[in-house]
Amino acid sequence: MIDDEGVLQSVDVSAKFVNGKPARIEAKYVMRTPRDWDRFMRFMERYSQANGLQFVKN
């Protein structure tokens, strides 16, 4: 994941193929500190605004 602050990356990524074509990608991004969580949330805020999405707390 790339934004103005830099890169967030994970090596835990898997893909599912159906009839030889990619159908789904799953990735796990581990946040070990509150700072990591804050950084991820800033990324998600910018991503959601750029793509017309919305975050709702339940």
- Tally of CA atoms within 13 A in the half-sphere of 20 that contains its CB: 0
Whole-number pLDDT of residue 42? 94
pLDDT at residue 58 greater than cutoff 80: no
Structure tokens at 11: 């090596």
Could you tell me how far CA 11 lies from the centroid of its own chain?
13
The rounded distance, in Å, linking the Cα atoms of 15 and 25 is 4
The rounded distance, in Å, linking the Cα atoms of 13 and 29 is 9
The rounded distance, in Å, linking the Cα atoms of 7 and 47 is 13
User: How does pLDDT run across 9-42, given as a tens digit for each residue?
Assistant: 998 999 999 999 999 999 999 999 999 999 999 9
Q: Which fold has domain 2-50?
A: Elongation Factor Tu (Ef-tu); domain 3 (2.40.30)
Whole-number pLDDT of residue 20? 93
pLDDT at residue 55 greater than cutoff 80: no
